[in-house]
Structure 1
Amino acid sequence: MPSGRPPTAPTPCSTRTRTTPSSATGTWPTRPATLVRTCASGPRGACAHRTAGGPRSGRSAARTPKLPGPPVHDDLVERDFTAEAPNRLWLADITAHRTGEGKLYLCAIKDVFSNRIVGYSISDRMKSRLAVDALSSAVARRGDVAGCILHTDRGSQFRSRKHVRALHRHGMVGSMGKVGAAGDNAAMESFFALLQKNVLDRRTWTTRQELRIAIVTWIERTYHRRRRQEALGRLTPIEYETIMTTPAAHAA
């Protein structure tokens, strides 16, 4: 039978508990099962308050992963990772590894002529600045790079306005592979696979700084000067560049 009392208006924001007895024992739980919230200002999702453990107001609990955006450059490489001279074709990519302080990100740039890492940047944040700093490092090391192609994936760091402006400033040409096609940058992935095997996965890293030092040491001391590569005629990247860029080599 309906009650004669009018319904009470909800308070601006109030929270009450709802409990239910156990169906098996008929006893009441010691802890409230749910929290029920009423808000006069609008729907529950618009309320500035939230129950413990629930998602923030106005946001979905589950997020859909972002897909790579449209390319800002055409694919000028088409998986032909060869070059007849230095500074004709560079590859760039970003990798991350976890430490006790959080993730550390590395953006590296490789010259396919000698497989040398001509520039890199390491940071605790994966922003456009990471890619721009790596490019600046490579240009500072190599000098005149006008006309050089830089091939990357479609990551937001490489599609950023800052990175595109940096390419134009140095007279370079951008190139981008297809979405989800790892083979479009396979030559760069092979370098990261070596880095992961020889450095990243060798031990647990407590701080970002100790991992940063280990990465730089391996690149400059081992990869460049000690590790001989079959593709370079059993020479290291430094040896190959030294031999192939001398006047005698050009004359031959």
Structure 2
Amino acid sequence: MVTTLPGGQAGRPPDLLDRNLAAGAPNRCWAADFTHVKSWAGVVYVAFVVDTPSRRVAGWSAATVKETVFVLDAQEMALWQRDRDQHPVQSGELTHHSDAGSQYTSFAEHLDAAGIAASIGSAGDAYDNALMERA
């Protein structure tokens, strides 16, 4: 089942990481992706946001549809979780990396408003988001 549908190319954030998802400290690089799980009741999509230095799942979300709000919920959970753990994200320090799926290309403005740099690789290319693809 295909989960990555390319978003529009106009105004799409650049790939700031060029496949280098290493970071020296928490809240510097987050990788995001989602997958599907088949169940008796149908397909469920699960999105994850991972803080790359520790590979800790910072946020997640599950839904029955692949809409932007579903991946945005995972991002919001990650921000809330880091605040709760008294390690809030500092504006201008974090890069959020994902593939070029339409769900991720459409919330770059939200990331910008939170002081988070959006980094987007190519659509459906496992090498551009290898940390998430191998999980």
**Which TM-score bucket, shorter chain as reference?**
0.7 to 0.9
Report sequence identity in percent: 36
Greater share of residues in helix:
1
Which residue of structure 1 aligns with residue 113 of structure 2? 169
Which fold has the larger relative contact order, with Cα–Cα distance below 8 Å and residues 6 or more apart in sequence? Answer: 2
Q: For the residues of structure 1 that align with 2:5 and 2:64, how far apart are their CA atoms?
A: 22
Aligned ranges 1:148-227 → 2 under 5 Å: 148-160=94-106, 163-191=107-135
Residues 38-70 of structure 1, C-alpha deviation per residue, up to 9 Å, x if partnerless? xxxxxxxxxxxxxxxxxxxxxxxxxxxx96132
Q: For the residues of structure 2 that align with 1:179 and 1:103, how far apart are their CA atoms?
A: 21
Contact kept? 2:99, 2:120, Cα under 8 Å: yes
Larger radius of gyration: 1
The code of the aligned residue for 1:178 comes to: S
Aligned ranges 1:233-244 → 2 under 5 Å: none
Q: TM-score, normalised by structure 2?
A: 0.85
Q: Which runs of 5+ in 1 are unaligned?
A: 1-65, 192-252
Q: For the residues of structure 1 that align with 2:108 and 2:129, how far apart are their CA atoms?
A: 19
Greater share of residues in strand:
2
Residues 193-231 of structure 1, C-alpha deviation per residue, up to 9 Å, x if partnerless? xxxxxxxxxxxxxxxxxxxxxxxxxxxxxxxxxxxxxxx
Q: For the residues of structure 1 that align with 2:125 and 2:40, how far apart are their CA atoms?
A: 32
Q: TM-score, normalised by structure 1?
A: 0.47
Q: Which runs of 5+ in 2 are unaligned?
A: none
**The one of 29, 38, 46 aligned to 1:98:** 38
Residues 125-183 of structure 1, C-alpha deviation per residue, up to 9 Å, x if partnerless? 111111110110000011332220000011111111xx223212211010011234210
Aligned ranges 1:25-64 → 2 under 5 Å: none
Q: For the residues of structure 1 that align with 2:32 and 2:128, how far apart are their CA atoms?
A: 12
**The one of 55, 58, 64 aligned to 1:124:** 64
Which residue of structure 2 aligns with residue 85 of structure 1? 25
Q: For the residues of structure 2 that align with 1:77 and 1:157, how far apart are their CA atoms?
A: 19
How far 1:190 sits from its partner (Å)? 1.4
Q: For the residues of structure 2 that align with 1:116 and 1:108, how far apart are their CA atoms?
A: 10
The code of the aligned residue for 1:142 comes to: R
The CA RMSD measured in Å over matched residues stands at 1.6
